[in-house]
Amino acid sequence: MTSTQRPPQPAAIDTDDSPLSAATAARDQSVLQMVQHAVGSRNVALAYQPVMTCDGTAQPAFYEGLIRIMDDTGRIIPARDFIEDIEDKELGRQIDCLSLEMGMAALQAAPDLRLSINMSARSIGYSRWKRILEDWLRRNDTLAERLILEITESSAMQMPDLVTAFMAELQHKGIAFALDDFGAGYTAFRYLKQFYFDILKIDGQFIRRIHDDPDNQVLARALIGIGQHFDMVTVAEFVETHEEASFLRDAGIDCMQGYYYGAPSLSPPWEYGRTRQKTA
């Protein structure tokens, strides 16, 4: 081989036709079909998880309604297994509509309930979502003051100006807003002055083993301090142990949510309590 000759180059890999790409595409298509079928047959439900106060009363401040779908075998599929695949699709808007519809029905049925429902910022301009909300508030305008809309940090930052205007409109009607997964890395802090979220939910990555993780302790205290400065109720997500809960309580967190206090349940806990009272 002379100095002017170049060694043979390996053939370029066509990533679009690679086995991994094909497998990923097939999985994505399977997820979409599963969700489409569940939505079309309304084989969906809300699972309710308590968000507990830290004021010593051991009472839920509110519940979060988490969307679940059921596949053909009856297996319950949590949102984390499909939400990223449908977030930017029409199917994502349909999921948000079903979540809102079921959440408003739960609020109507339980006058003492305060409930948070997840939504994407992409659903703000979705006419069907807005119509569902307006129809329910027209029937019972007291539902607004018990409804909390949760928007993830990543979703809010995609269209901050639209989110700000949307929040101002609905907060005027009594609806509260929670910034979900706070600290995950998307928020430009300058927007916190404009957003006026009522509730700040600190991402679970800062909560895990916080009692013996100095880095998480510093970061969580900083996030709690931000929430306190902007007069927002702070919630720690994914609290799973007594040690984590004890540290967070001492750090000044307002509320906690996680398996330590209760797993999401398809059976509304407030209905269970009423049933026990009736049969006692």
Q: Considering Cα of 260, then 264, then 80, then 220, what sign does the dihedral take?
A: negative
- State the Cα–Cα distance between residues 165 and 194, nearest whole angstrom: 10
Contact, 44 vs 76, CB < 8 A?
A: no
Determine the 3-state secondary structure of 93 from DSSP.
Answer: helix
Report for 16-20, 76-80, 186-190: range of highest mean pLDDT: 76-80
Task: Output the pLDDT for position 84.
Answer: 84
Full set of structural domains in the chain with CATH? 34-279 (3.20.20.450)
- State the Cα–Cα distance between residues 33 and 28, nearest whole angstrom: 9
Question: Tens of pLDDT along 63-119?
Answer: 999 999 988 888 898 888 888 888 889 999 999 999 999 999 999 999 999 999 999
Residue 145 backbone dihedrals phi, psi, to 5 degrees: -75, -10
Identify the DSSP state of 49.
E
Contact, 115 vs 149, CB < 8 A?
A: no
3-state SS, 166-205, equals HHHHHHCCCCEEEEEEECCCCCCHHHHHHHCCCEEEECHH
Distances (CA, A) of 153 to 127, 136, 249: 23, 27, 24
Task: Output the pLDDT for position 44.
Answer: 94
Task: Select from 114, 155, 116 the least CA-distant residue to 166.
Answer: 155
Question: Tens of pLDDT along 226-265?
Answer: 999 999 999 999 999 999 999 999 999 999 999 999 999 9
- Residue identified by tokens 């900083």 is 222
Task: Select from 83, 96, 53, 44 the least CA-distant residue to 266.
Answer: 44
Amino acid 255 reads: C
- What is the DSSP pairing of strand 44-53 with strand 255-257? antiparallel
Identify the DSSP state of 116.
E
Task: Output the pLDDT for position 275.
Answer: 44
Task: Select from 242, 104, 125 the least CA-distant residue to 175.
Answer: 104
Contact, 247 vs 218, CB < 8 A?
A: no
Question: Tens of pLDDT along 131-181?
Answer: 999 999 999 999 999 999 999 988 888 888 999 999 999 999 999 999 999
Task: Output the pLDDT for position 7.
Answer: 46
Q: Considering Cα of 179, then 184, then 189, then 191, what sign does the dihedral take?
A: negative
- Residue identified by tokens 């880095």 is 215
- What is the DSSP pairing of strand 60-70 with strand 76-78? antiparallel
- What is the DSSP pairing of strand 60-70 with strand 115-119? parallel
